[in-house]
């Protein structure tokens, strides 16, 4: 397993999973630096991502990471050129675009032919030609990731068949494929109405790969960490608008973006237990109509100063937060049994303001 850092990139989370035996999957040079700062061994790191810069590739090649998964013909040529300039040989994999519908949200689909990710299978002959000519790359893997929040095992079966077909293609062209990365995207439903069939998934993997001579890997993110996170928010005020009861929290889409961006639903519970139950719209303080965490949420009667908990925000929570409306980023606290530690301090507005630079010549501006 290679944990997908983009789901939650705090170094403490990376370190925990690494110590438990997981490899690490990164999608940017910055995520690679985070993984290295968390003392992850380079040979346990795979580098995905459609927009790797030359500096990203230099870092990855110098550090000798396990594999760079290539997303375009141009990138493949750049890796060979960069590795040659460094006097190195880079281990690479090819991320294919299989043109498979993940049957998920369009915004998190990555395997259709119109998506920006991966190399179309129609271009693999060109990959073979380049790989055989290039002296500074070692093509040893195939990767395929078609999206997130996938619950349909039939989608994975299509992916597995396409990966096996691609591996045979390369082997028939005298390229020795050793690693097959079967992607991630295992579904996690925050409202608990659906559950990913992990046992059925295992049977599917065994069916297709049990007796084949490949190292098989996956890159789950959300499935590993989503349930581990809870957002605690304080009620700033309550209000009534027409027939709707609102509670306004001190956390908004700047802290947790997914409901506004994807229409994602997360369970919201009251910290204070009271008997009366009221239908609320739970909103944040941001000046956007989409800054809503949930509508028609039944909670005990809430008052200004009370707290609510938004559940299952361990994935794509803090990593997607922002300073919109000049709001500070929230603190993060890691809890294990009877221990707890602040693993990211709350941002201070004075530090945020200090990042601005006002040109001296604005003093003469009229």
Residues designated catalytic: 287
- Gyration radius of the chain over CA positions: 23
Cβ count near 212 (within 10 Å): 10
CB atoms within 10 A of CB 230: 17
Instruction: Give dist(CA 175, CA 124) in Å, integer.
Output: 12
Q: Could you tell me which of 6, 51, 45 has the C-alpha nearest to residue 23?
A: 45
User: Helix/strand/coil (H, E, C) string of 236-285?
Assistant: EEEEEECCEEEEEECCCCCCCCHHHHHCCCCCEEECCCCCCEEEEEEECC
| Exposure string over 82-105, b if 16+ CB within 10 A, otherwise e | bbeeeeebbbbbbbbbbbbebebe
CB 146 within 8 A of CB 111: yes
């Amino acid at each position: 397993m290679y944990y997908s850092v983009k789901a939650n990139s705090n170094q403490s989370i990376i370190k925990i999973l690494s110590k438990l035996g997981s490899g690490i999957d990164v999608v940017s040079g910055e995520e690679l630096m985070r993984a290295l700062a968390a003392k992850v061994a380079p040979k346990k790191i795979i580098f995905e991502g459609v927009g790797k810069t030359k500096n990203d590739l230099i870092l990855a090649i110098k550090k000798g990471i396990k594999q760079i998964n290539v997303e375009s013909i141009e990138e493949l040529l750049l890796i060979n050129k960069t590795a040659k300039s460094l006097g190195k040989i880079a281990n690479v994999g090819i991320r294919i675009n299989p043109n498979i519908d993940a049957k998920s949200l369009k915004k998190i689909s990555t395997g259709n032919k119109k998506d920006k990710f991966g190399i179309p299978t129609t271009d693999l002959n060109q990959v073979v030609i380049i790989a055989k000519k290039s002296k500074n790359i070692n093509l040893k893997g195939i990767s395929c990731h078609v999206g997130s929040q996938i619950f349909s095992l039939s989608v994975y079966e299509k992916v597995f068949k396409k990966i096996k077909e691609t591996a045979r293609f390369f082997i028939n062209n005298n390229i020795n494929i050793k690693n097959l990365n079967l992607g991630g995207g295992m579904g996690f439903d925050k409202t608990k109405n659906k559950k990913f069939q992990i046992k059925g998934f295992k049977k599917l993997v065994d069916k297709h790969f049990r007796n084949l001579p490949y190292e098989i890997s996956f890159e789950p993110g959300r499935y590993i960490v989503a349930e581990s996170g809870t957002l605690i928010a304080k009620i700033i005020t309550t209000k009534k608008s027409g027939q709707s009861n609102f509670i306004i929290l001190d956390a908004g889409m700047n802290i947790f973006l997914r409901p506004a961006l994807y229409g994602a639903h997360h369970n919201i519970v009251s910290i204070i237990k009271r008997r009366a139950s009221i239908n609320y719209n739970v909103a944040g303080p941001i000046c956007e109509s989409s800054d809503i965490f949930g509508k028609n949420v039944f909670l005990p009667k809430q008052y200004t100063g009370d707290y609510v908990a938004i559940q299952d925000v361990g994935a794509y929570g803090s990593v997607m937060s922002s300073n919109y409306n000049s709001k500070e980023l929230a603190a993060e606290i890691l809890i294990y049994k009877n221990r707890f530690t602040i693993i990211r301090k709350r941002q201070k507005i004075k530090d945020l303001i200090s990042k601005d630079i006002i040109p001296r010549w604005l003093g003469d501006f009229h």
